[in-house]
Structure 1
Amino acid sequence: MLFSRHKNHLPTPEEALKGRAEPGFSVPDRHTVLGTPLTGPYPEGLVVADFGLGCFWGAERKFWQAPGVFTTLVGYQGGHTQNPTYEEVCSGLTGHTEAVRVVYDPAVTSYGALLKLFWESHNPTQGFRQGNDVGTQYRSAIYTHSPEQQAEAESSRAAYQSVLTSSGYGDITTEILPAGPFYPAEAYHQQYLDKNPAGYCGIGGTGVKLSAPSATNWGRSCPTGVAPVDE
C-alpha cells in the first residue's frame, strides 16, 4: 500500500510526512566513476545545477557522462519532508521528486548545454510520470540557483515547447523553481548504474532536439531533428 498511494497528488505542507532533523543514513565520500567528492564544499569556480527527469538512476548517468561535469549526486528535492527516505518519497507523502545535482566547470561547459541535455533526455510533457514510472516523484523539474539560471531555464522551456508542439506533443509540465533543500539519497542509489550496469533505466527522450544554445539565443534555436509522435 505504501507505494501505491498518492501517485497523482502533491501533498500540502500540512499533509506531508514530518521527517527528521538529521539524515537517517550516510552518503559515500567519492563518486564511483569520476572519483570526485559527492557533497560540498566544491572547488572554487564550479557551479551547481539541479534537475529532475524521472528515475534518477538513468538521469544521473546522463550527466556524469557529459563534458565539464565535476561530480553528480542523486537525491530528493522540491518537497516538504525534512531528510526523507526513499520509501517515504515513493509513498507520495513528501512532495519530493527524484533529482540529480550536477556540479560543473563553466570554463568547460555551460548551463545551456546542461539544459539541452535535460530537455532531450526525457519527455517533459508527461506530468507525474516518466514512461512506465508513475508518481509525483518522477515529475520533471529544474531547480535554479540564481536569477540567471531561472531566466535561462524559462527561456529554454519556451524554445522546447515550440518544437515539441510542432511535433505533436502536449504542454511541458516541468516545474522551474528556485532551489530549496536538496537531500542526498541513500548510498545504494548513488551512481547506481555504474554499480549495476544492467540495471533499470526508465528515462527516454522524445527525439526532439535543438541546435546548441547559448544563454541569449534560446528563442532563435533551430530544431535539428524531430521524432515521430508516440502513439
Structure 2
Amino acid sequence: MSRLTTFVPEEQTLPGRTERWFPLEERHRVLDAPLVTDTAPEGYEVAYFGLGCFWGAEEMFWQIPGVWSTSVGYQGGSTPNPSYEEVCSGLTNHTEAVRVVFDPTKVSYADLVKRFFEVHDPTQGMRQGNDVGTQYRSALYYTSPEQEATARRLTKVYGDELARRGLGEITTEIREAPTYYYAEQYHQQYLDRVPHGYRCHANTGVPFPETD
C-alpha cells in the first residue's frame, strides 16, 4: 500500500519500461467487448476516472447501462508502463484509473460524472477510505473540450452542495487525459473473478443535486 501523500519530483520517479510486458485477454469478462482498444467505436466516447481502488470503481462503471467496455490502469504519473508494485511504492505519481468506453446516446458523460461523485469521497485528497497514498487520489481525466466543460461545471455544482452541508472542498484532479497504461491482467474485472474481493470506497452520503 502506498503511503506517500505528496508527489515525488519527476526526476525521482521510477524509470519504467518502453513497452507493456504482460499479455491481456482480448475480451471484457463481463461485457464481452474488446478489452484493449486504441479508439472507441464510431459515435462512442472514452473517459477516465480515478476514485480510489480501481477494483470496485471498475465494477461500478461496468454495471451502468450504456457503458460498452471498461478496463483498469495507471494514469497521471511519470513512469511509463509501470507495474502495480511500482505504483504502490508511490514513486510513479500515477493514480489508479478506470477507462470507460460508453455510448452517449444511452448514458451521458454528465451522468457518469454524477455517479462518480456519489460513490466516493472527493474531499479526501491523497486517500480513499482506508487506502492512503497518491495512487488513490480522485481524478477526472477528460478527452474533449465538451467533457472538460461538463466536468468543471458539475464539480462546482457538487462542491457547492457539499459546502452547503458543511463538508470539505473537492480535491479532484481535473485535466486532459494523460497517457493511460493498462494494469496487469489479474486486475482487469477483478471483482468478477473474485466476487467477495476487496471493495473500499468512502462516500459523502450526499446525492448529486438536481441540475438542468
Q: Same fold (TM over 0.5)?
A: yes
Calculate the aligned-residue CA RMSD, in Å.
Answer: 1.2
**Residue equivalent to 2:24:** 27
- Spell out, residue by residue over 1:74-127, the C-alpha distance to the aligned partner (whole angstroms, 9 max, x if none): 000000000000000000000100000000001111000000110001000000
**Residue equivalent to 1:161:** 159
Higher relative contact order (CA 8 A, sep 6+): 2
TM value normalised by structure 1: 0.88
Q: How many residues are treated as equivalent by the alignment? A: 211
Q: C-alpha displacement at 1:211, in angstroms?
A: 4.3
- Spell out, residue by residue over 1:16-47, the C-alpha distance to the aligned partner (whole angstroms, 9 max, x if none): 11110011212211111101111114321110
Candidates 9, 14, 17, aligned match of 2:14: 17
**Residue equivalent to 1:133:** 131
- Spell out, residue by residue over 1:167-222, the C-alpha distance to the aligned partner (whole angstroms, 9 max, x if none): 22111110001011000000000000011000000013211112454xxx3xxxxx
SS at match of 2:12: coil
SS at match of 1:209: coil
Match runs of 1:163-202 below 5 Å: 163-202=161-200
Which stretches in structure 2 are left out of the alignment for 5+ residues?
A: none
CA distance in 1: counterparts of 2:24 and 2:83, whole angstroms = 13
Contact 1:116 1:212 survives alignment (8 Å) = no
**Residue equivalent to 1:83:** 81
- Spell out, residue by residue over 1:43-94, the C-alpha distance to the aligned partner (whole angstroms, 9 max, x if none): 2111001000000000001100001000000000000000000000000000
CA distance in 2: counterparts of 1:27 and 1:142, whole angstroms = 25
Displacement over 3 Å in runs of 4+:
none
CA distance in 2: counterparts of 1:205 and 1:98, whole angstroms = 17
TM value normalised by structure 2: 0.96
